[in-house]
């Protein structure tokens, strides 16, 4: 029994109708439960369902151009659907019984339908009416279909006949522009009314089947018809202009033949039956050449893709999409040459000059199998270990697996046969030395043979279930594969070197120096080194077709519809799309050389700049990164996201011109200056985000500007409070009065410590008691006496003043400088990007576009922000005059814009707003580097408590570190303690005693200091070496514990 090359399989109710989309990888399935399913057979997903039919749906078809579907079912209805709108457009009524098949015409707006009412109807789906009824069958019409090119219809019926109808008259009558017929006679009118006229007439009646005929179909190009019937026979018919006759009968099915059709690309007939088999017949030999069997499902329908080598079959529990043969050409690449098999010739293609010549005729060597059903070369392997002569191993699936060792000359013209051919049966074969090759025979034994085909060594493979061998990059080694793993095996030493879990490997591809290998399975690529240690793996949802290595090294591979790249660190991306599957052979500059399914070498233009850029980042090749940033057109959300994920938002900022993305990146890398420039175009939300980032950095001048832009008065007041800016607090007080915001007035008075103003505001709101308490508590006796009289006049009780009340005064600000001090950090390697590339690495300074000026302004003049490194950059890194002008220009622009107050400029409350931007570039450490745009602060180290736990097995040290869980585990393991609650007080004492807390500045948190033991000298001598262990001081001493123990006794 032959093995089916299944591409997709679905599980569903019984499938009675199938149709391939002519362009997209879609297939329609009509189900016996009344549903229609739309599947993507490439992705293996159900895209849509159409569920308006009542009862089984037996026929379905795609329109060749329009987004239309036609279906017919047991509810006597023909429905036309729009799959884009996902609904039924209209229903055609007229049939009086079950509808068996429906089909669109390839050129005309026609639909043909066959029904159990013994008629065939032709519908115009544009005018939505029936234009012809074909009568003549006297039993159920099981199928009807248009000829792909001629004006003919073929139909099959249970009356044991196949009929061919001529629709020329109908075309002339209904298709616009065709000559019309004269229907003026009485006979013609009566004929039209009673019998539908002579628009479509019977051309041939094919009789020969002994029982009802279930299916008939035309050959796409030849005047042939195929039919299948309940007499278990498949009949081939030929037609000419005047007659049709039976050519031959193919017997072999053991039950009713459900469907039969011609293969669209090869001279083959495919039929399926209720005997649970699909059979393939050779038209010329009229013999069965392949049989595929299912265990328990009867087959009901077949469909062939109009352009591709794809077939589909519907059965009782779903459908399958399959091929009859592999379409991948057998080829191998060595340096600048590609050896491949095409049309029974071994050919050589030279990449340098595109010379393509046949070398050896394989007509006498390869199996003479029927074209189109497999049996041809499956793989070709060139012997790269033999420099003296040319050897290839060709494997094929014929006779259960065969190999052919062919020795040839590259000077051959292809006219002669191979110089030397050795054959044998094998599951797999691979070269292992200059004059040796390994064979896996059908008994799963490993044989080493010489070039005379004699067995030199025989052994049992160390891998159970081994089913394939691959070249291992080194003489004397092979790669073995089984169902779930790959093994690197040394044949000389007979030992396993390494093993990798990769299921069902199909192809193994080495790079030029055999240091890296790619293992490709149906949906997965695994990259490994020559010792078979995995570097990375990637899984695709569609099938992989092959790949090759670039010299960088970058691994390029093709899927059904894309060319993609993969790096050894796992980074991947899409290089370009493909219209048809291609098999990658070699990368040559910006060209990808591939073989197509016809064995033609094709050149595909590619751009792998993105992959090379990622590789440079991985290798930290900053000179290459800078060169690519200046000269390459890297763009897109993918590269921006990648740079952010890898921690290089400052590099991503260089590629972006979109304001929103640019703003986000500027915040991500802390570039306050760029973010501020972009925020002018984005509105209040951007200013709020900028304020948060500036506050995090301590750049309170930018925070102030952000709050002014967004009119966040309360935040502004608090900012002026903590920065000690009392002048602006008084201005905020005036603003609050003008706005009539009483609460804001109280807050500002409170922040200023102005008790009189606070009492005045409270009194104005009618809160006399509260005003009296505030005045009395703060010693304003005159005001308090006046308020007391008002309270008495208003018959209100005089509140009692608490003699212990404290004065509510604002805290003293920590610093009154322009900006808070920031941490000075070292300059990163990538900061050269902002300096225009003028580094000491030999990269010349290159002028950048004006669009990126603000990017460079942010760090171009970072002369005073480098801490101790200032003297290193006096000559190269200093700010230029042009940059100073640019910076001053931005400050002037900000001042001209009226600062951050917008409509409130008339309040004249921002007299020194020009400092906000001007100083951002010139004065403070923060803004000189744009908020340290390109410099990462050192990461926080681990606290000593982490080492206390890792370096000690004493529970007291763990309690001191606050790790209660590990301490309890130690107690349980060392003394079998179960209940530790009695020592809770001692544990708390250890924890509290190991830490000292030192008070800091006002409004700042306290500083925590860990108390550790003195490190004893490691040895006597002049130099002291501190112990590697750092453990806490323990508050509990042994003497104290012994004393407590004595007291307990």
CA distance 517 to 788: 94
* pLDDT at position 579: 86
Q: How far apart are CA 736 and CA 677, in angstroms?
A: 29
Give pLDDT, residue 412.
52
For 51, 58, 114, 214, the CA distances from 82, given in Å and listed in that order, are: 13, 19, 22, 29
CA distance 211 to 542: 45
**Could you tell me whether strands 99-104 and 110-115 are parallel, antiparallel, or unpaired per DSSP bridges?**
antiparallel
C-alpha 1003: how far from its chain's center?
Answer: 50
CA angle 343, 345, 350 (to 5 degrees): 110
- Please list, in sequence order, all residues whose beta carbon lies within 8 angstroms of the beta carbon of residue 118, skipping any fewer than 6 positions away: 135, 137, 138, 139, 140, 141, 157
Element of type H or E holding 585? strand 583-588
Among the listed residues 22, 92, 23, 28, the one whose alpha carbon sits nearest the alpha carbon of residue 60: 28
User: HSE-up of 699 (CA within 13 Å, CB side)?
Assistant: 30
- CA dihedral of residues 807, 808, 814, 820 (deg, nearest 10): -170
Q: Rounded distance, CA 1016 to CA 542, Å?
A: 65
3-state secondary structure of 416: coil
Pick from 591, 573, 572: nearest CA to 582: 591
In total, the chain counts a number of residues equal to 1049
Q: How many CB atoms lie within 10 A of CB 364?
A: 10
In this structure, is the dihedral angle defined by the CA atoms of residues 820, 821, 822 and 823, taken in order, positive or negative?
negative
Cβ(293)–Cβ(279) below 8 Å: no
- DSSP-assigned letter for residue 798: P
User: What is the per-residue pLDDT for 655?
Assistant: 65
* Cα dihedral: 951, 956, 959, 961 (round 10): -40
β pairing state of 15-20 and 26-31: antiparallel
Contact call for residues 115 and 131 (beta carbons, < 8 A):
no
CA distances from 299 to 74, 295, 303, 681 (A): 19, 11, 12, 66
Q: Nearest to residue 256, comparing CAs of 323, 156, 145?
A: 156
Would you state the structure tokens that stand for residue 559, as one six-digit string? 């899927």
**CA distances to 461, 801, 985 from 806, in Å:** 91, 11, 37
Residue numbers of the chain with a pLDDT score lower than 70: 1-2, 177-198, 363-372, 374-375, 412-419, 630-640, 644, 647, 649-650, 652-657, 807, 814-818, 820-940, 1001-1004, 1014-1029
- Beta strand 277-282 with 268-273 is antiparallel
User: For tokens 């409130």, what's the residue?
Assistant: 904
Pairing of β 436-440 and β 446-450: antiparallel
Main-chain dihedrals φ then ψ at residue 905, nearest 5 degrees: -60, -30
- Whether the bond between 553 and the residue before it is cis, its omega within 30 degrees of 0, is yes
The residue with tokens 């040319």 is: 390
Alpha carbon of 464 to those of 419, 438, 480, 502, 573: distances in Å?
37, 17, 10, 15, 36
Which residue(s) pair with 1012 in the sheet?
1032
**Two structure tokens written together for 28:** 């329609």
Angle at 133 (CA atoms; ends 127, 135), nearest 5 degrees: 170
H/E stretch holding 762 reads helix 755-764
DSSP string, 146-181: E-SSSSEEEEEETTSEEEEEE-HHHHHHHSTTSPPP
Edge to edge, what strands does the sheet with 591-595 contain?
A: 583-588, 591-595, 601-605
The token pair at 317 is: 């529990």
What's the CA gap between 685 and 341, in Å, rounded?
A: 64
| 529-540 as b/e: b if 16+ CB within 10 A | ebebeebbbbeb
Q: Within 10 A of 10 (CB to CB), how many other CB atoms are there?
A: 19
Contacts of residue 1022, Cβ cutoff 8 Å, sequence gap at least 6 = none
Helix H, strand E, coil C: the string for 429-464 is: EEEEECCEEEEECCCCCEEEEECCCCEEEEECCCCC
Output DSSP code: residue 908: -
Bridge partner residues of 813 (DSSP): none
Q: Put residue 32 in one of left, alpha, beta given phi > 0 → left and psi -120 to 50 → alpha.
A: alpha
Handedness of CA 43, 44, 45, 47 (dihedral sign): positive
Give the Cα separation of 370 and 265 in Å (integer): 13
Residues 869 and 878: their CA atoms lie apart, in Å, by: 12
The distance of Cα 788 from the centroid of its chain, to the nearest Å, equals: 77
The secondary structure of residue 811, as a DSSP letter, is: P
pTM metric for this prediction: 0.66
Residue 82: the pLDDT is: 95
* Alpha-carbon distances of 797 from 769, 773, 787, 803, 808, rounded to whole Å: 8, 12, 12, 18, 24
The whole-angstrom separation of Cα 275 and Cα 251 is 13
Torsion of CA 14, 20, 21, 24, to 10 degrees: 100
Which pLDDT score is estimated for 924?
38
Buried b (16+ CB within 10 A) or exposed e, 793-814: eeeeeeeeeeeeeeeeeeeebe
Per-residue model confidence as pLDDT tens digits over 454-491: 998 888 888 888 888 999 988 888 999 988 889 999 98
pLDDT of 31: 95
From the number of C-beta atoms within 10 Å of its C-beta (0-12, 13-18, 19+), residue 618 rates as middle
Nearest CA among 827, 794, 488 for reference residue 650: 827
- Tokens for 261, please give them: 């059709």
CA-nearest of 873, 935, 882, 919 to 673 is 919
- Beta-carbon contacts of 767 under 8 Å, excluding residues fewer than 6 positions away, are none
pLDDT in tens, 303-359: 999 888 899 999 999 999 998 888 888 899 988 889 888 888 888 888 888 888 888
CB 153 within 8 A of CB 119: no
Q: At what angle do helices 914-922 and 672-679 cross, to 10 degrees?
A: 150
pLDDT of residue 196: 52
Q: Which helix (H) or strand (E) holds 883?
A: helix 881-896
């Amino acid at each position: 029994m032959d093995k089916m090359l299944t591409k997709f399989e679905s599980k569903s109710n019984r499938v009675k109708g199938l149709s391939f989309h002519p362009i997209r990888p879609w297939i329609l399935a009509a189900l016996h439960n009344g549903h229609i399913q739309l599947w993507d057979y490439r992705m293996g997903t159900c895209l849509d369902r159409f569920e308006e039919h009542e009862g089984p749906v037996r026929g379905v078809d795609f329109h060749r151009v329009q987004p239309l579907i036609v279906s017919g079912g047991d509810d006597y209805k023909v429905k036309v659907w729009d799959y884009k709108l996902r609904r039924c457009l209209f229903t055609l009524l007229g049939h009086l019984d079950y509808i068996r098949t429906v089909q669109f015409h390839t050129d005309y707006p026609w639909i043909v339908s066959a029904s159990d009412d013994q008629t065939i109807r032709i519908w115009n789906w544009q005018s939505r009416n029936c234009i012809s009824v074909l009568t003549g069958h006297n039993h159920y019409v099981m199928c009807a279909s248009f000829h792909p090119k001629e004006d003919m219809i073929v139909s099959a019926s249970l009356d044991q006949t196949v009929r061919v109808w001529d629709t020329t008259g109908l075309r002339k009558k209904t298709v616009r522009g065709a000559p019309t017929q004269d229907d003026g006679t009485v006979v013609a009118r009566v004929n039209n009314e009673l019998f539908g006229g002579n628009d479509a007439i019977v051309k041939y009646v094919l009789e020969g089947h002994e029982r009802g005929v279930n299916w008939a179909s035309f050959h796409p190009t030849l005047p042939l018809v195929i039919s299948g019937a309940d007499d278990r026979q498949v009949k081939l018919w030929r037609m000419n202009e005047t007659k049709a006759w039976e050519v031959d009968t193919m017997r072999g099915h053991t039950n009713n033949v459900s469907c039969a059709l011609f293969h669209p690309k090869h001279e083959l007939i495919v039929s399926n039956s209720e005997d649970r088999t699909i059979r393939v017949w050779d038209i010329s030999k009229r013999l069965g050449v392949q049989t595929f069997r299912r265990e328990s499902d009867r087959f009901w329908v077949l469909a062939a893709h109009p352009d591709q080598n794809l077939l589909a079959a519907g059965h009782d529990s779903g459908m399958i999409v399959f091929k009859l043969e592999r379409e991948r050409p057998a080829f191998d690449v060595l340096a600048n040459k590609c050896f491949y098999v095409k049309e029974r010739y071994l050919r050589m293609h030279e990449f340098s000059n595109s010379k393509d010549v046949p070398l050896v005729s394989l007509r006498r060597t390869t199996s003479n199998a029927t074209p189109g059903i497999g049996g041809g070369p499956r793989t070709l392997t060139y012997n790269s270990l033999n420099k003296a002569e040319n050897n290839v191993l060709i494997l094929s699936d014929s006779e259960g697996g065969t190999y052919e060792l062919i020795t040839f000359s590259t000077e051959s013209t292809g006219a002669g046969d191979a110089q030397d051919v050795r054959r044998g049966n094998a599951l797999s074969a691979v070269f292992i030395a200059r004059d040796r090759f390994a064979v896996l025979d059908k008994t799963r034994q490993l044989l080493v043979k010489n070039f005379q085909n004699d067995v030199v060594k025989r052994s049992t493979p160390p891998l159970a279930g081994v089913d394939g061998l691959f070249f291992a990059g080194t003489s004397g080694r092979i790669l073995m594969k089984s169902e779930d793993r790959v093994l690197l095996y040394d044949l000389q030493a007979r030992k396993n070197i390494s093993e990798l879990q990769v299921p069902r490997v199909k192809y193994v591809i080495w790079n030029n120096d055999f240091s890296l290998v790619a293992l490709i399975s149906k949906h997965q690529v695994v990259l490994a080194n020559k010792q078979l240690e995995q570097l990375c793996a990637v899984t695709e949802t569609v099938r992989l077709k092959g790949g090759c290595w670039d010299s960088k090294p970058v691994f390029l591979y093709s899927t059904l519809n894309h060319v993609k790249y993969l790096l050894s660190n796992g980074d991947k991306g899409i290089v370009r799309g493909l219209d048809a599957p291609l098999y990658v052979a070699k990368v040559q500059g910006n060209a990808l050389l591939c073989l197509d399914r016809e064995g033609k070498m094709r050149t595909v233009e590619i751009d792998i700049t993105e992959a090379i850029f990622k590789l440079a980042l991985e290798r930290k090749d900053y000179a290459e990164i800078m060169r690519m940033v200046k000269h390459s057109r890297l763009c897109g959300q993918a590269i921006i996201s990648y740079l952010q994920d890898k921690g290089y938002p400052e590099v991503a900022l260089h590629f972006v011109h979109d304001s929103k993305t640019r703003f986000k990146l500027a915040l991500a890398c802390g570039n306050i200056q760029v973010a501020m420039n972009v925020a002018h175009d984005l509105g209040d939300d951007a200013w709020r985000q900028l304020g948060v980032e500036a506050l995090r950095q301590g750049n309170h001048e930018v925070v102030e500007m952000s709050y002014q832009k967004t009119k966040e008065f309360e935040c502004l007041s608090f900012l002026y409070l903590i920065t000690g800016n009392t002048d602006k607090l008084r201005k905020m007080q005036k603003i609050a009065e003008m706005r009539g915001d009483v609460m804001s007035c109280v807050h500002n008075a409170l922040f200023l410590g102005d008790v009189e103003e606070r009492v005045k505001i409270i009194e104005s709101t009618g809160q006399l008691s509260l005003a009296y308490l505030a005045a009395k508590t703060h010693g304003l006796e005159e005001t308090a006496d006046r308020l007391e009289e008002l309270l008495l006049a208003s018959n209100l009780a005089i509140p009692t003043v608490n003699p212990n009340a404290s004065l509510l005064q604002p805290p003293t600000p920590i610093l009154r400088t322009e900006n808070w001090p920031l941490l000075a950090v070292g300059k990163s390697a990538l900061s050269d990007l902002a300096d225009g590339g003028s580094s000491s690495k030999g990269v010349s300074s290159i002028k950048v576009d004006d669009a990126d000026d603000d990017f460079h302004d942010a760090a171009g003049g970072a002369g005073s922000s480098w801490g101790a490194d200032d003297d290193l950059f006096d000559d190269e890194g200093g700010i230029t005059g042009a940059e100073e002008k640019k910076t001053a220009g931005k400050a002037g622009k900000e001042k001209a814009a009226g600062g951050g107050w917008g409509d409130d400029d008339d309040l004249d409350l921002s007299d020194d707003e020009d400092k906000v931007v001007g100083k951002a570039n010139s004065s403070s450490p923060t803004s000189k580097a744009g908020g340290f745009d390109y410099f990462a602060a050192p990461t926080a180290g681990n606290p000593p408590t982490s080492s206390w736990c890792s370096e000690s097995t004493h529970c007291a040290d763990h309690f001191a570190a606050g790790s209660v869980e590990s301490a309890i585990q130690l107690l349980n393991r060392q003394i079998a303690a179960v209940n530790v609650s009695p020592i809770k007080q001692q544990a708390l004492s250890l924890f509290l005693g190991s830490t000292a807390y030192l008070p800091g500045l006002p409004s700042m948190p306290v500083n925590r200091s860990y108390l550790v033991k003195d490190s004893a000298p490691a040895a006597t001598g002049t130099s002291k070496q501190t112990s590697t262990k750092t453990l806490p001081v323990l508050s509990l001493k042994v003497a104290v514990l012994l004393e407590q123990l004595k007291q307990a006794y």
